[in-house]
Amino acid sequence: MNFQLTEEQLAVQAAARDFAQSELWAGVIERDEHQKFPAEQVKKMGELGFLGMMVSPEYGGGGMDTVSYVLAMEEISKVDASCSVIMSVNNSLVCWGLEKYGTEEQKQKYLTKLTTGEMIGAFALSEPEAGSDATSQSTTAEDMGDYYLLNGTKNWITNGSTASVYLVIAQTDPGKKHRGINALIVERDSPGFVVGPKENKLGIRGSDTHSLMFTDVKVPKENRIGEDGFGFKFAMQVLAGGRIGIAAQALGIASGAYELSVKYSKERKAFGVPISQHQAIQFKLADMATNIDAARLLCLQAAHDKDAGLDYAKSGAMAKLFASKTAMDTAVEAVQVHGGYGFVKEFHVERMMRDAKITQIYEGTSEIQKIVISREILK
Ligand code: CAA
Ligand code: FAD
């Protein structure tokens, strides 16, 4: 692996940093407090090319590699992890899945708009009774000849109310178990499709998370992704890459909390000296920096594996497992470094601590990452 970033990668990193630092700090506390979707910021991300980074220019994307995507995700997550989850779902689940497995018609109809932000995408796998145990799908897509009849409920769907395109995973042939599952493109205005109320969350409160209800929704056959029965494999393939994005999100939350802690420790005085001169604080910063560097290396390793055409299920899962723990540990310690000020909103680290937690849950919990890693090791 080459540790030197290319000029192009450095330019993407600088552009993302510039955008995040200049456009995302303003209003981030208010968006969190009022669960306000960052509509203007997402629009700008679309204009700057952050919503379809890895998609080929042929479909309006940036044609960038996964390393660049990781760098941009880190910078944006340093300031606002709500913006970065919207970006991550659109890029690595929806756009990547459509570009890799969609038909030319599907790409022309949806992908070209998803890359610019004209459309936002959502990925709907989880259900009230099927999260980690993702093969136990209750949502059904009954084969009616030239269309599927979709019935069921999806839970916890990011971009739930703002999306106009949903990739919905559903069971067509229960007898075939996971090999009878399909992935369908469902449009927001399909009759019978209802978006449930917004979830009131601990963290990433600017992102909109909803349940989705489908009652006799007719989905044309041409909206199926891949062959009949490919839906579960599709979901797993998409998630293998998505986990690199969430790992980078976790890395960004950790880096953001760390940077604020370094700055604060030099400013805040206790016992006549800046707290950065107390060894207890210095050691916290040393632990944070070491874990963050290790997390970054794992993220870049996984991104490199994907870009090089190597298997990245294990390296992506390792990156997510380690970076999400680093995000949680670093954010908790960042609050400690800030003392009482860390416990109030103005100093940002309490939000980062709340945001960090989700990275250990979605796109496969930490326990699921360990299942993926150990199966790869032992196979
Ligand atoms: N690529 C391709 N196929 C894969 C695969 C991969 N990386 N991983 C598994 N598969 C295939 C297997 O080969 C198998 O197919 P065959 O039998 O035809 O070979 C099929 O998937 C089932 O695999 P398993 O037998 O291993 O299935 P399992 O029931 O033991 O579960 C699991 C495996 C890894 C636990 C899986 O269920 C899983 O990943 N669960 C977590 C779900 C998840 O991550 N959800 C995230 C939702 S999206 C989200 O969260 C977005 C967001 O927040 C922003
Ligand atoms: P469960 O699967 O019920 O797990 C509960 C606990 O049991 C966890 O600690 C888990 O690790 C553990 N556990 C379960 N099985 C095992 C096992 N075999 N071995 C060891 N431990 C186990 N889903 C989508 O499809 N699309 C989205 O856009 C999306 N966005 C989300 C956004 C937010 C804010 C949230 C909270 C969730 C989102 N999800 C989304 C759902 C998310 O992926 C699931 O919550 C996650 O996969 C866990 O599923 P669960 O909540 O059903 O927990």
Q: What is this model's ipTM?
A: 0.99
pLDDT in tens, 294-308: 999 999 999 999 999
Cβ contacts of 8 within 8 Å, gap of 6 or more: 64, 68
Question: Which protein residue's CA is at the shortest distance from atom 18 of ligand 1?
Answer: 179
Q: How crowded is the C-beta side of 169, counted as CA atoms within 13 Å? A: 31
Residues of the chain with pLDDT under 50: none
2 found inside a domain: no
Residues written for the chain: 379
Whole-number Cα distances in Å, 27 to 30, 212, 375 = 5, 29, 43
Cβ contacts of 318 within 8 Å, gap of 6 or more: 298, 302, 369, 373
Does residue 346 have an active-site annotation? no
Q: What is the CATH number of the domain that holds 166?
A: 2.40.110.10
| Ligand 1 pocket member 85 (CB < 6 A) | yes
Q: Is residue 86 domain-shared with residue 164, that is, in the same domain?
A: no
**Strands 121-124, 165-171: pairing kind:** parallel
The pLDDT, as a whole number, for residue 99 is: 98
Active-site option among 346, 363, 367, 376 = 363
1 found inside a domain: no
Question: Which protein residue's CA is at the shortest distance from atom 50 of ligand 1?
Answer: 363
Question: Which protein residue's CA is at the shortest distance from atom 51 of ligand 1?
Answer: 363
pLDDT in tens, 257-300: 999 999 999 999 999 999 999 999 999 999 999 999 999 999 99
Tell which of 231, 265, 292 closes a domain: 231
Q: Is residue 249 domain-shared with residue 315, that is, in the same domain?
A: yes
- Number of domains present in the structure of the chain: 3
Ligand 1 centroid to residue 134 C-alpha, Å: 7
Return left, alpha or beta for 245; rule: phi > 0 is left, psi -120 to 50 is alpha, else beta: alpha
User: Which residues span the domain enclosing 33?
Assistant: 7-120
The pLDDT, as a whole number, for residue 3 is: 82
Q: Is residue 95 domain-shared with residue 150, that is, in the same domain?
A: no
| Ligand 2 pocket member 167 (CB < 6 A) | no
Ligand 1 centroid to residue 236 C-alpha, Å: 4
Provide φ and ψ at 316, rounded to 5°. -65, -40
Q: What is the CATH number of the domain that holds 327?
A: 1.20.140.10
The pLDDT, as a whole number, for residue 1 is: 67
The DSSP H or E segment spanning 256 is helix 231-267
Q: Which amino acid is at 266?
A: K
Note whether 246 and 363 are within 8 A (CB). yes
Q: Is residue 173 domain-shared with residue 188, that is, in the same domain?
A: yes
